[in-house]
Amino acid sequence: MKLSDAQLRSFHDDGFLILPQLFSIEEVELIRAQLPTLFAERCPQNFREKDSDVVRTAMGLHLRNDVFARLVRHPRLLEPALQILKEDVYIQQVKVNAKEAFSGEVWQWHYDFATHHGEDGVPKPLALNLHIFLDEVNEFNGPLVFIRGSHKHGPAPTSLDTVTTSYPLWTVDDETVQALVADGGLVAAKGPPGTALIFADCLVHGSSINMSPWPRRIYSLIVNPLSNALTRHRRPDHQHHRDVTPVTPLSDDCLFAGVAA
């Protein structure tokens, strides 16, 4: 798995790259099949919606489940990340964001580096967020919306929002969003299950509520260069793992390893 020069350029210009059909429906179904058991667990790794008992985010999944233990080392996501970063990476965070049908709530405008820097003392905005769509993501079920090219302006000013959602978030103010959107415009990341996505640590994004009857579950793996590791241990391990061992890719069929035919 190697990104083309055009894909690399597109990633650096836009701050994100969509990779259609990167995972097969069989692979997506195997991943989805792990979720009911994981979501049913009452543990600090499972964050629930502010206004309901529905799981919004389930973290630390590679330490809780064999399929996710292999998925974090999948070459179709890890090799592009290593190609972009040109150095060894560790696993910073592993989660599924489940914006469930009818009940999924908003994620305000933010970028990941604000949290990585502010909470964990990560020096530079180098971490990559690697996604796999586990459901179709469309205009109705709360797609991630990117402000194209907003990563190029460097870290935008932020403030801590502990009110809107169940998960404290360093958000970008309206005036800054207005200016960044005027410059780059908005793009919603949409596609069928199995679509993958890579985006930059300073890329401003948000997502709306999900009032549709369709769930919108997305797998998210954040990897970070070893040279850029966390320097502060304020948050629990599942929010930023302490284990900074370099992660190496498995084989392309790794997800089905050990699964009976």
Residues lying near a second copy in the complex (CB under 8 A)? 101-102, 106, 108-109, 139-140, 145, 174, 177-178, 181-182, 186, 188, 206, 208-209, 211-213
**Nearest distance, CB of residue 140 and a second copy, angstroms:** 5
Tokens at 105, concatenated: 């709530």
| Shortest distance in whole angstroms from residue 179 CB to a second copy | 9
Nearer to a second copy, 209 or 250 (CB): 209
Nearer to a second copy, 139 or 252 (CB): 139
Residue 80 CA: distances (Å) to CA of 30, 119, 145 = 22, 27, 22
- 166-to-97, 180, 208, 217 alpha-carbon distances in Å: 13, 26, 15, 17
Nearest residue (CB) to a second copy, 89 versus 189: 189
- Please give the DSSP secondary-structure letter assigned to residue 25: H
- CA-nearest of 110, 157, 112 to 130 is 112
Phi, psi of 78 (to 5 degrees): -70, -40
Q: Decide the pairing of beta strands 196-200 and 16-19.
A: antiparallel
Q: Compute the least distance from the CB of residue 163 to a second copy, in Å.
A: 10
C-beta separation of 189 from 148 below 8 A: no
Please state the closest distance from residue 142 (CB atom) to a second copy, in A. 8
The whole-angstrom separation of Cα 163 and Cα 29 is: 35
Shortest reach from residue 170's CB to a second copy, in Å: 16
Residue 219's SS3 state is strand
Which residue's CB is nearer to a second copy, number 156 or number 177?
177
Nearest one of 185, 192, 196, 250 to 219, comparing CA atoms = 196
Closer residue to a second copy, CB minimum distance, 39 or 214: 214
| Nearest CB to a second copy, comparing residues 39 and 140 | 140
Least Å distance, CB 209 to a second copy, is 6
